[in-house]
Amino acid sequence: MRPYADSNFFSRFYLRVSGSEETVSLLTRAAEARSEPLPVTWLHRMETLNAFQLYVFAGRVGGQARVTPEQAAAAHATFQADMAQPTFLRSVQLSLQDLEAQFEELALRHTATHGFRTYDLLHIASALVLDCDTFWSFDPKASRLAGLEGLRVR
C-alpha cells in the first residue's frame, strides 16, 4: 500500500481531536502491513501548521475542539520531529510542472461537474504524481475525487 493522507488527517492525528482514533488505527494497520511512509509535501507542511492554529482560534470563539496555543505548538513540534525521522512520514518534493499538469487535468475533467475545490485537486494531484494507491481524508469531497481517480479511500 502506498497511502497519501491530506492535511486534515495529520491535524487530527497530532491534536487528538474528533477522528483521532481513526487516524491512529489507520497508521497502525499501515505499519503492520509495512506500507510506505506517508508523503509530506509543502502543502501538508503549510496547511497542517495553519490547521493547528485554526483549532486554537476555534476554541477561543466557542468551537467544539478546545486546543490551547501550547497544545498546538507541541503538535507542530512533534510533526516536525516525525518528518526528521522518516519512520511513518517522509518529506517529498514534487515537480511543480508535474503537479500543475495533473491539477489541470483533474480540474478540466471534474470541477465543472462536481464542484471540487483547489485544495481537493491539489491533494489528489499530489497523490497521483507520487503514484499513491490509497487516500486518507476526513473530507468527503476530496475522498469522492480520490475515488473517481481510482484511489482506494479510507
Which phi and psi (to 5°) does residue 35 adopt? Answer: -70, 160
Average pLDDT over residues 44-60: 93
Instruction: State the CATH number of the domain containing residue 100.
Output: 3.40.50.1010
pLDDT at 140: 96
pLDDT over 70 at 65, yes or no: no
Distance, in Å, from the CA atom of 43 to the CA atom of 46, rounded to the nearest integer, reads 5
* Average pLDDT score, the chain: 93
Span 107-123, pLDDT tens digits: 999 999 999 999 999 99
Distance, in Å, from the CA atom of 73 to the CA atom of 131, rounded to the nearest integer, reads 32
C-alpha triplet 55, 26, 18: angle, nearest 5°: 25
Q: Where are the alpha helices (DSSP H) in the chain?
A: 7-15, 20-32, 42-60, 69-84, 96-106, 112-114, 118-129, 140-148
Point out the least confidently predicted range of 5-19, 39-53, 90-104, 132-146. Answer: 5-19
Contact by Cβ (8 Å): 136, 9: yes
- Residue 136 lies inside a defined structural domain of this protein: yes
pTM for the full model?
Answer: 0.91
| 36 or 103, which is more confident | 103
Domain that holds residue 45: 3-149
Distance, in Å, from the CA atom of 55 to the CA atom of 68, rounded to the nearest integer, reads 8
- Residue 154 lies inside a defined structural domain of this protein: no
Which cell numbers in the block locate residue 9?
488527517
What domain count does the chain have?
A: 1
Q: How confident is the model at residue 63 (pLDDT cuts 50, 70, 90)?
A: low
